Chains A and B, each alone.
Chain A
Amino acid sequence: MAIGESQLDSDGPSEDVDAQFGWRYTFGKVMQDTTARWGLYVVAFVLLVSAYTLIDSNLSRLTFGAVSDFAAAEALPIFEHPERIPPPGEIDGNVPPAFHPDGTLSHPLGTDPDGRDYFTRIVYGAQVSVSVGIVSTMIGFVGGTIIGAVSGFYGGRVDDILMRIVEIIYAIPPLILIIVFIVFVSGGTPDIRYAVIGVGITFIPIFARIIRSEVLSVREMDYIEAARASGVKNRNIILRHVIPNSFAPVLVYASLQIGVTILVVAGLSFLGFGAQPPTPDWGQMLNVSHGYMHSNVWLSIWPGVAILVTIMGFNLFGDGLQDALDPRIND
């Protein structure tokens, strides 16, 4: 992303055109749109929460209790605090949320069957979901940009072969392709890393198609001709001229795709192919809570609400970005 930005600034269009299509202009337009602004707020909030959980490993100030420390210790396996794990008798499982008559303020959203504070786990889940969403989207984005740019720029046989491969990957429903990928590549022991890579690879075709269609028009531009005439190598033309100038629609798509990615990874974790316990992933939490639907309704509600809010934020923001960048919809 950073490369494209600097490229656009340095050898992009002249300044008066820049005022209409530059990044600051785009941001201004996004902020003008009410829904997009709210989307941005939600995204910023989720990002802040996930950044916070990176710094604070036990969240003691937010969760007010001894058991919560245990929850935090369990929440991320990196932080091991065996001394904080309460003896079995003290585990307070399936506590309802605070507004319920049986609930306590020390566990605002209650506890899970293992006595871990649900609020802490939901908060930690943000970090898992957001990083997974962004990393997989980046894999699809980078891979798709390279394949799409090469395919569109060279055309001919290269284009044919690459696009056929893309078409074939497209033909297997993503979720099924990802599941099969995870199972076979991991040899039957799924892990969130395989899920991230699998989702990323599966989304390469979609990105490749979008950037290819852009490149097809960019490659006919005079400045490409000029670069070629002055003896710039193809590789450099693609990297310095073709990709930066076909960037905007893919960027919009990427912002929308983060939401889709989080949705898919949540589904994978729900089925047991993504994050594994005790990682506090929202999808994985829904998988566990599925078995407690009769005894503790709340367990099934909170992670879903968290997923919904996060994805809605990314979708609102992506829609706003699309409106801001696409002059056709502005009427």
Chain B
Amino acid sequence: MGLLRYTIGRLIQAIPVLIGITVITFILANLAPGDPVRLMLQGQEVDQELIERVEQQYGLDRPIHERYATYMINLLQGDLGYSIHRDRPVTDLVIQRSGPTLMLVLSAYAFALATAIPLGILAATRRNEPTDHISRIVALIGVSTPSFWIGIMLILVFAIQLGVLPSSGLVYPWWGPDHYGYSGYPELIYQTIRHLLLPMIALGTLQMATLMRVERTQMIESLQGEYVKLARAYGVPERTILRKHAFQVAQLPIITIVGLNLSTALGGAVLIEYVFNINGLGRLLLEAIIGLDYQLIMGITVVIGTMFVVGVIITDISYAYVDPRVTYGDRD
């Protein structure tokens, strides 16, 4: 019951933030110097009448608060506007391109968690031994290397020099094997993984390094806890202590970091999608910018911001679910 109430509470708290995202995006879009229609046409010769007609059509001749109100009313109905350049509703485009981005970001997290947690624990249990030093150096390099350069290096080695993995595009399993002309689902899954491997590592390395550092500190702290001392005194085997007593407590901050770092991951996805030619939201944003497609740029920003907020809420809820000590804010 408490958890449900907490969930609803978190969702209600998110509403002002979501509204704020639209306000900021709207203000930014209106900061542009000059006439948006002229900017969009980028110096093409057009008569004044056409400009006025386009302005009227998109409501650009009305004051800013009126335009914002219209935008919000449409947004509540799931309408993010209309892309002039693509001649399609922004909502359609954004939904279509969200899949690849989510697939990329989630797989990067899977990679990061699968590597960071064991390595962090290993480093913590062998504190100040060579293993620890090596893992710390790896983490340091991980946080210091631009993800897009990791991507470029991976392409150079695995796609160009060795020629074993593809360097661009993704295979989307939801399109089915027939769309790609594959023999069946096993090949589809195989190809999906093959295409996903390099971008996943490129995007996941920063997350891996950050999570590994946190995991290491948390495990060290956790291993020094009173409960671990007590368990040792009772003669509980070291492996069991590690697995049951120390590990579980140490995972809680990881959940929070995963949620907060979603922000870097979603931003990094823009770079990785550019490097690997993945048709996700990031590339859509870059393409929209080239054409100065206002409504599309705003729509993508709002959607990515929403993705982040939802991600944080999901991690908050899972945190509350996992940790019995969290009081769902009742006693705050």
Contact = CB atoms under 8 A, between A and B. Distances in A.
B249 interface: no
A29 to B, nearest CB: 19
A17 interface: no
A168 interface: yes
A173 B42 contact: no
B202 to A, nearest CB: 12
B24 A293 contact: no
A286 B149 contact: yes
Contact of B145 (A170, A177, A185, A308): A308
Nearest to B297: A180
A168 B21 contact: yes
A270 B20 contact: no
B266 A286 contact: no
Contact of A164 (B16, B266, B268, B309): B16
B208 to A, nearest CB: 16
Of the candidates A173, A266, A300, the one having the most CB atoms from chain B within 10 angstroms of its own CB is A173
A172 interface: yes
A165 B18 CA distance: 12
B146 A176 contact: no
A73 B156 CA distance: 31
B10 to A, nearest CB: 13
A172 B19 CA distance: 12
A66 interface: no
Nearest to B143: A315
A188 interface: yes
A202 to B, nearest CB: 10
A100 interface: no
A293 B156 CA distance: 7
A171 B156 contact: no
B289 interface: yes
B301 A180 contact: yes
A293 B148 contact: no
Contact of A172 (B21, B155, B160, B264): B21
A173 B152 contact: no
Interface in B14-65: 16-18, 20-21, 23-25, 28-34, 39, 42
Nearest to B136: A35
A312 interface: yes
Given A173-B305, A183-B297, A316-B140, A297 B146 contact: no
Contact of B144 (A165, A290, A315): A315
A184 interface: yes
B277 to A, nearest CB: 11
B328 to A, nearest CB: 20
B304 A263 contact: no
A266 B30 CA distance: 27
Nearest to A188: B292
Give the size category of B's interface with A: 35 or more
Interface in B292-315: 292, 297, 300-301, 304-305, 308-309
Nearest to A260: B143
Nearest to A289: B152
B144 A311 contact: yes
B2 interface: no
Query: How many of chain A's residues touch chain B, expressed as a range?
Result: 35 or more
Contacts of A188: 32, 39, 42, 289, 292
B29 A175 contact: no
A286 B300 CA distance: 26
B141 interface: yes
Contact of A304 (B16, B152, B297): B152
B39 to A, nearest CB: 6
B305 A271 contact: no
Contacts of A294: 160
Given A174-B263, A179-B285, A294-B160, A168 B31 contact: no
Contacts of A9: none
A307 interface: yes
Interface in A283-330: 283, 286, 290, 293-294, 297, 300-301, 303-304, 307-308, 311-312, 315-316
A167 B17 contact: yes
Contacts of B188: none
Contacts of A184: 28-32, 297
B153 interface: yes
Contact of B32 (A185, A290, A303): A185
Contact of A171 (B21, B144, B274): B21
Contacts of B23: 168
Contacts of A175: 264, 267-268, 270-271
A183 B17 CA distance: 23
Nearest to A169: B24
Interface string B69-106: 00000000000000000000000000000000000000
A179 B148 contact: no
A304 B140 contact: no
B302 to A, nearest CB: 9
B123 to A, nearest CB: 15
A308 B34 CA distance: 39
Given A267-B271, A293-B156, A312-B141, A171 B17 contact: yes
Interface of B: 16-18, 20-21, 23-25, 28-34, 39, 42, 140-141, 143-149, 152-153, 155-156, 160, 263-264, 266-268, 270-271, 274-275, 285-286, 289, 292, 297, 300-301, 304-305, 308-309
30 contacts: A164-B20, A168-B24, A171-B21, A172-B25, A172-B304, A173-B266, A173-B305, A175-B267, A175-B270, A176-B267, A176-B300, A179-B285, A183-B292, A184-B31, A184-B297, A185-B32, A185-B33, A187-B32, A188-B39, A188-B289, A259-B143, A271-B286, A283-B146, A293-B152, A304-B149, A304-B153, A307-B149, A308-B145, A315-B140, A315-B143
Given A167-B20, A286-B149, 11 more contacts: A171-B21, A175-B270, A176-B301, A180-B25, A180-B297, A187-B39, A188-B42, A271-B270, A293-B155, A294-B160, A300-B149
